């Protein structure tokens, strides 16, 4: 990509870890990078050695690009590594899961209790005729049984495919049919913002069109709050099955490369892809990254707020932390719902952190920006002194949002790990190691030890520091996807055809003189305005720097003269938003924002249109769907909207666009 324009963030703002943090950190020797990168296979092998193996591997890596096999010849079981070795050792009475429901109900499971529950449910699955290699769909709330069911699948070698509990019947049907599941695990429903989400009713609708599904297991979450119908012969109560199940189930010896799970991507850029992960490489990668990136210590209460329906919930709610014997916190509901059930409680996260004394929080920029919009008073009314480390994942975090997180949540004390990775990569790829790396707001900093990331031009040539380009990963890594389920051709085409033998994640990036990576958003979203490459991230971060702006999404709209013209959709912080009907105030603010961007990034970047919006179209995992904004701006019929969180948002934006276009 030529014709650089300057990245306008203050790249000199830097935060070194405190001496106290460094002293106790799991990784505090910068040499770790040199050692790992000198011999990545030996590095990964040193992590695999920390797992419990039934049979050790013969070969670390077989690489026939683009197909990799790791720890070939080895046998192990994931549930034995995440549960048994802790339950049968000193962590038997240690808390494994601390859970809170949206209405405030709570449960705690020790490793010993989790061990029993996982074995019972593994026997339930066996009793339903589920065999090694067969697929089980989970369509579940964020409750301990979701983790129990995942681990139970791994215990018997069944391949789980989790469908986020907020998805529609159509999405559930599509994913269930794509992976050919035999059993669906669900619940009657769950709580979300004080409302009931009727999972069972949605499952009934989906299963009509799912010929492979034989049984539906239904957990009783809501009791008499909901009435559901059970279909004779197909639907069975979870509790009834567990009550009859034996509490002993020997873990199935799984081959290193046996499939572990299938997970469909978020669908930000198009139709979701069925990512396949396998056993030992995935577990090695998630265990190593959890330990070093989150600096997990024996007495931590670690909270990753992602739903188990996303990869973050797989790798960093369940597998990575539990492989390390850490205590995980899980929460069922919405961040703006109070325990009193009165609604509008925008301090729920901070209230729970204070009450449970949570020490590590890993969340998404979308949540941080929502909190910025709501105002500082919510976190400020709680004691957050238990926190010692913060994380971010899912989208680039704007420097301004990073600083807000650092000051208002971390109180200037907690290192922030901005972690770049994907469903496909299985584990974190670019991230600070909090006891070593000096962080810069907006940069994910350095490739994890053993990961060979680079930035290249369209032809695949490495670019010098400071030049914007395409992020690539040059060498295979243990937790990489193995293929797309049932579609190896698409696997090769999507990830390996742009540059032969080199992994193409689809994101843009630039590296600074200190070797830090700055993610610039999707390659497809980079605009070409009058011959200049402008990333959505640069423009959005500049808008968020304006005191009135909480969140921004920028897209390039086709333009006769410039090729593309930038269009900005912005959300204003609540206390600074023009009153409804104040058209003059809104116009003034729009003009001011255009001028702001023009002054900060150059006239070329000045947006043609600024739309003040109450909300932005997002995936159900909270990512901005810029392709739909492009459709809105260019007056097209909307593309695939099945992963959209709230269809009303785009509909109202379409209306607003024609009235505010200027």
Whole-number minimum distance, CB 469 to ligand ATP, in Å? 15
Q: From ligand ATP, Mg ion, none, which one binds at residue 395 (CB under 5 to 8 Å depending on kind)? A: ligand ATP
Q: Which is nearer to ligand ATP, 325 or 622 (CB)?
A: 622
User: Length of the chain in residues, anyone?
Assistant: 662
Q: From ligand ATP, Mg ion, none, which one binds at residue 505 (CB under 5 to 8 Å depending on kind)? A: ligand ATP
Whole-number minimum distance, CB 621 to Mg ion, in Å? 11
Q: Which is nearer to Mg ion, 174 or 424 (CB)?
A: 424
Q: Which is nearer to ligand ATP, 40 or 313 (CB)?
A: 313
Q: What is the DSSP string of 55-115?
A: B--SEEEEEETTEEEEEET-EE-HHIIIIIHHHTTTTTTSEEEEEE-TTS-EEEEEHHHHH
**Residue in 140, 155, 130 with CA at minimum distance from that of residue 214:** 130
Whole-number minimum distance, CB 506 to Mg ion, in Å? 6
Phi, then psi, of 633 in degrees rounded to 5:
-65, -30
Q: From ligand ATP, Mg ion, none, which one binds at residue 445 (CB under 5 to 8 Å depending on kind)? A: none
Whole-number minimum distance, CB 268 to ligand ATP, in Å? 3
Name the 3-class secondary structure at 554.
strand
Q: Which is nearer to Mg ion, 171 or 359 (CB)?
A: 171
- The answer to whether residues 350 and 382 touch, using CB atoms and an 8 Å cutoff, is yes
- The answer to whether residues 629 and 557 touch, using CB atoms and an 8 Å cutoff, is no
Residue of closest CB approach to Mg ion: 265
The sign one gets for the Cα dihedral 327, 333, 336, 340 is negative
Query: Directed axis angle between helix 583-601 and helix 536-545, to 10°?
Result: 120
Q: From Mg ion, ligand ATP, none, which one binds at residue 272 (CB under 5 to 8 Å depending on kind)? A: ligand ATP
Whole-number minimum distance, CB 269 to ligand ATP, in Å? 3
**Residue 20: partners with Cβ closer than 8 Å, 6 or more residues away:** none
Q: Which is nearer to ligand ATP, 394 or 607 (CB)?
A: 394
> What Cα–Cα distance (Å) separates residue 494 from each residue in 171, 475, 497, 617?
22, 17, 7, 25
- The answer to whether residues 193 and 343 touch, using CB atoms and an 8 Å cutoff, is yes
Helix (H) or strand (E) segment spanning residue 203 = helix 199-207
C-alpha torsion 166→171→175→181, nearest 10: 70
Q: Which residues bind ligand ATP (CB under 6 A)?
A: 265-270, 272-273, 311, 393-396, 418-420, 422-423, 444, 505-507, 519, 522, 621, 623
- Report whether the peptide linkage leading into residue 555 is cis, meaning its omega lies within 30 degrees of zero: no
Phi, then psi, of 278 in degrees rounded to 5:
-115, -175
Site string for Mg ion, 253-282 (x = CB under 5 A): ------------x-----------------
Whole-number minimum distance, CB 619 to Mg ion, in Å? 10
The sign one gets for the Cα dihedral 225, 228, 232, 237 is negative
Q: From Mg ion, ligand ATP, none, which one binds at residue 126 (CB under 5 to 8 Å depending on kind)? A: none
Q: Which is nearer to ligand ATP, 249 or 472 (CB)?
A: 472
Whole-number minimum distance, CB 616 to ligand ATP, in Å? 14
Q: From Mg ion, ligand ATP, none, which one binds at residue 566 (CB under 5 to 8 Å depending on kind)? A: none
Q: Which is nearer to Mg ion, 365 or 379 (CB)?
A: 365
Q: Which is nearer to ligand ATP, 111 or 294 (CB)?
A: 294
Whole-number minimum distance, CB 395 to Mg ion, in Å? 11
The residues in 355-414 that bind Mg ion, with binding defined as CB under 5 A, are none
Q: From ligand ATP, Mg ion, none, which one binds at residue 551 (CB under 5 to 8 Å depending on kind)? A: none
Query: What is the 8-class DSSP label of residue 655?
Result: H
**Residue in 9, 28, 20, 16 with CA at minimum distance from that of residue 415:** 16
Compute the chain's Rg from CA coordinates: 24
Q: From Mg ion, ligand ATP, none, which one binds at residue 202 (CB under 5 to 8 Å depending on kind)? A: none
Q: From ligand ATP, Mg ion, none, which one binds at residue 563 (CB under 5 to 8 Å depending on kind)? A: none
Q: From ligand ATP, Mg ion, none, which one binds at residue 332 (CB under 5 to 8 Å depending on kind)? A: none
Q: Which is nearer to ligand ATP, 119 or 431 (CB)?
A: 431
Alpha carbon 153 to its chain's center: 22
Whole-number minimum distance, CB 45 to ligand ATP, in Å? 27
Phi, then psi, of 155 in degrees rounded to 5:
-65, -35
Query: Directed axis angle between helix 647-660 and helix 626-633, to 10°?
Result: 40
Give the Cβ contact number of residue 17 at 10 Å.
22
Q: Which is nearer to ligand ATP, 123 or 269 (CB)?
A: 269
- The answer to whether residues 387 and 414 touch, using CB atoms and an 8 Å cutoff, is yes
Whole-number minimum distance, CB 614 to ligand ATP, in Å? 23
Q: From Mg ion, ligand ATP, none, which one binds at residue 314 (CB under 5 to 8 Å depending on kind)? A: none
Whole-number minimum distance, CB 53 to ligand ATP, in Å? 29
Q: Which is nearer to ligand ATP, 522 or 590 (CB)?
A: 522
| Residues of this chain that bind Mg ion (CB under 5 A) | 265
């Amino acid at each position: 990509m030529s014709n650089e324009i300057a990245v306008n963030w203050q790249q000199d703002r830097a935060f070194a870890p405190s001496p106290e943090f460094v002293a106790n950190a799991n990784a505090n020797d910068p040499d770790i990078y040199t050692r790992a990168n000198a011999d990545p296979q030996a590095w990964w092998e040193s992590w695999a050695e920390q797992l419990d193996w039934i049979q050790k591997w013969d070969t670390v890596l077989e690489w026939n690009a683009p197909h990799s096999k790791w720890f070939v010849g080895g046998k192990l079981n994931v549930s034995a590594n995440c549960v048994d070795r802790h339950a049968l050792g000193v962590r038997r009475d240690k808390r494994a899961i601390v859970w809170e429901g949206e209405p405030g109900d709570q449960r705690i499971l020790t490793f010993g209790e989790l061990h029993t529950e996982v074995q019972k449910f593994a026997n339930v699955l066996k009793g339903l005729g589920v065999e090694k290699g067969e697929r089980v769909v989970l369509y579940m709330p964020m409750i301990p049984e979701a983790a129990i069911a995942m681990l139970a699948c791994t215990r018997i070698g069944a391949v789980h495919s989790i469908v986020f509990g907020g998805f529609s019947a159509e999405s559930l049907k599509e994913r269930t049919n794509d992976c050919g599941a035999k059993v669906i695990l669900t619940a009657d429903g769950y709580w979300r913002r004080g409302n009931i989400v009727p999972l069972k009713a949605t499952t009934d609708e989906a299963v009509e069109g799912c010929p492979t599904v034989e049984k539906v297991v239904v957990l009783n979450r809501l009791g008499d709050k909901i009435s559901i119908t059970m279909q004779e012969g197909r639907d069975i109560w979870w509790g009834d099955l567990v009550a009859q199940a034996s509490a002993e189930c020997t873990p199935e010896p799984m081959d290193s490369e046996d499939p572990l799970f299938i997970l469909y991507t978020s669908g930000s850029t198009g139709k979701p892809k069925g990512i396949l992960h396998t056993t030992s490489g995935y577990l090695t990668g998630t265990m190593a990254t959890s330990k070093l990136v989150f600096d997990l210590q024996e007495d931590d209460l670690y909270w990753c707020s992602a739903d188990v329906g996303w990869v973050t919930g797989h790798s960093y709610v369940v597998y990575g932390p539990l492989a390390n014997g850490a205590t995980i916190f899980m929460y069922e509901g919405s961040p703006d719902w109070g325990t009193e059930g009165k609604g509008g409680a925008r301090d729920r996260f901070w209230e729970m952190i204070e009450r449970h004394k949570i020490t590590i929080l890993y969340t998404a920029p979308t949540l941080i920006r929502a909190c910025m919009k709501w105002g500082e008073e919510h976190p400020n009314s709680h004691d957050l002194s238990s926190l010692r480390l913060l994380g971010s994942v899912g989208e680039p975090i704007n420097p301004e949002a990073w600083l807000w997180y650092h000051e208002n949540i971390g109180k200037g004390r907690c290192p922030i790990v901005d972690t770049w990775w994907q469903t496909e990569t299985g584990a974190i790829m670019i991230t600070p190691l909090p006891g070593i790396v000096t962080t810069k707001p907006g940069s994910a900093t350095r490739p994890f030890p053993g990961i060979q990331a680079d930035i290249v031009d369209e032809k695949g040539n490495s670019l010098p520091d400071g030049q914007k380009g395409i992020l690539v990963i040059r060498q295979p890594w243990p937790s990489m996807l193995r293929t797309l389920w049932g579609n190896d051709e698409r696997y090769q085409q999507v990830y390996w055809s742009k540059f032969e033998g080199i992994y193409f994640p689809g994101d843009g990036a630039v590296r600074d003189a200190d070797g830090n990576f700055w993610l610039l958003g999707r390659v497809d979203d980079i605009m070409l305005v009058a011959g200049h490459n402008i990333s959505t991230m640069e423009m959005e971060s500049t808008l968020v720097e304006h005191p009135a702006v909480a969140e921004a999404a920028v897209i390039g709209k086709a333009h006769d003269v410039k090729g593309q013209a930038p269009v900005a959709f912005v959300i204003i912080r609540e206390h600074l938003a023009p009153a409804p009907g104040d058209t003059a105030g809104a116009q003034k603010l729009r003009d001011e924002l255009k001028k702001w961007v023009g002054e900060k990034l150059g006239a070329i970047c000045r947006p043609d249109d600024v739309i003040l919006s109450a909300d932005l179209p997002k995936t159900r995992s909270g990512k901005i769907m810029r392709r739909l904004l492009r459709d809105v701006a260019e007056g097209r019929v909307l593309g695939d909207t099945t992963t959209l969180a709230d269809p009303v948002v785009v509909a109202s934006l379409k209306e607003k666009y024609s009235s505010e276009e200027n």
